[in-house]
Chains A and B, each alone.
Chain A
Amino acid sequence: MKVVVDMNKCQDHGQCVFAAPDVFSMDDAGRLLYVADPDDALRDDVEEAADVCPLQAIRIED
């Protein structure tokens, strides 16, 4: 699957990290890092991450 985070929207809330820690993480400065092409087995987690992002910055593009 393909994940896109709109970094203009993202405000580093980190909610996505709790929902899908294998895909989203924070660097030491608290900035978001993510895997753009995670395994399809992680789809549920990534959908959850997209749901809980307060800025609705995460898009799943199949």
Chain B
Amino acid sequence: MTGRILVAGASMAGLRAAEQLRAAGWTGALTLVGDEPHMPYNRPPLSKEVLAGQAPFDSLAFRPRASVHDAQWLLGRTAVAARLAERTVVLDDGSVLAYDGLVVATGMRPRRLTCPGPRAGRHTVRTLDDARGLREALTRPGARVVVVGAGFIGCEVAATAVGLGAGEVTVVDPLPLPMIGPLGELLGRALLRRHEERGVRFALGTGVAGFTGEDRVTGVELSDGRVLRADVVVESVGSVANTEWLDGNGLDLTDGVRTDELLRAGGRPEVVAVGDVARFPNARYDGVPRRVEHWSIPGDTAKHAARALVAHLHGTRDEPAPFAPLPTFWSDQHDFRLQSFGAPALGRDDVRVLDGDPDGDVLVGYHTGDRLVGVVALGGQAAVMGAARYRNQLLKQPALTA
């Protein structure tokens, strides 16, 4: 097979897409373009083991499959524009790459706070270089740390900072409980208590109005008027999709690249989106297109998109069935783990304890119309294994819309 598939974004989803294109029978050329200088690496440890210094930075690299050893890697290069009608992508050095198939895998970048104050001393955690810089700041003796945003990454960083012996760690969020958006109140309360018992402080129900300091941050001004002293600020307030380079092609780019059930964008069979950046309908649920920022999604989307793309390029009709992944998520904080299967956020209004109790290891079920749509375990290994027992039940259920 001749021709070229271009993969824009050379991280987990880009790598998995390249590997799955080979697995689906693509023997033509493969080019990956990535703006980071690194080969694909694993991000979850950046807020956990690697930030804590329990694992070295060089342990993060993925081992690409032998099938992609002949791929061309253009690293440190950014895709700045695409002309989908002409099937070309323009890079930052002015070069124009022609393709037969295009995989969009450009992921997300951290959202930044825009309130007034100095920038130095304020960190985000998305890349290896981010985590290196943050680790250096957190390991300065007695560092006072303010984490803005009580989502998963913010809570992981707060836990790691306490573990590193930071002087003071406070998490700020306008919502009343940590991780309440994805997990609901019951686990939000249990998580708040666990974090407080392990030395994390919280300023909840208040936002950030600004930062104090001249050249670098010395404190965080809250919207309720309080000022928290800070040497290190971590902003973990969500992320923004890297889609600007696709502007002007008539794609729906509101919150990621909107795709159909085969992960194709803009009705173009030669353009697919994978990973965090893809906003896809999940046939398992209500068919509403959503982005899912879970580690399991790059692999799931890559497999499906690769099959659809190769079927199109080979002119065969063996397109895969509509995409229906079971979302899977974990998070490690302090000495406990959260393990989630399914879509708890869809069943947040009907939360039941399936096993254990919120003060210890607990397994929680999320329901819609009396039907289980997600389970989350909080605690040690036994709780996590409990959640795994419900995974089959979730997998076997018919689609929500059916």
Hey, which bits of chain A sit against chain B, CB under 8 A? 9, 11-15, 17-18, 26, 29-30, 47, 51-52, 54, 56, 59
Contact = CB atoms under 8 A, between A and B. Distances in A.
Interface in B285-304: 295-296, 299
A54 B385 contact: no
Taking residues whose C-beta sits less than 8 angstroms from the other chain, chain B's interface range is 20 to 34
A43 to B, nearest CB: 11
B400 interface: no
Interface in B372-391: 381-382, 384-385, 388, 391
B316 to A, nearest CB: 20
Interface string B288-330: 0000000110010000000000000000000000000000101
Contacts of A15: 328
Contacts of B16: 51
Contacts, number: 35
Contact of A14 (B19, B55, B63, B384): B384
Contact of B384 (A29, A30, A47, A56): A30
Nearest to A30: B381
Contacts of B44: 54
A12 B381 CA distance: 8
B65 A56 contact: no
Give the interface SS of chain B, mostly helix, strand, loop or mixed: helix
Contact of B299 (A12, A17, A52): A52
Contacts of A14: 384-385, 388
Query: Top 9 nearest A-B pairs by Cβ distance?
Result: A30-B381, A30-B385, A51-B299, A14-B388, A56-B42, A12-B381, A52-B299, A54-B295, A54-B44
Contacts of B330: 13, 54
Contacts of B381: 12, 29-30
Q: Which of B62, B299, B382, B385 has the largest count of A CB atoms less than 10 A from its CB?
A: B385
Contacts of B296: 52
A13 B331 CA distance: 11
Nearest to A59: B63
Contacts of A18: 388, 391
B2 to A, nearest CB: 27
Nearest to B296: A52
Contacts of A12: 381, 384
A17 B384 CA distance: 13
Interface string B52-67: 0001000100110100
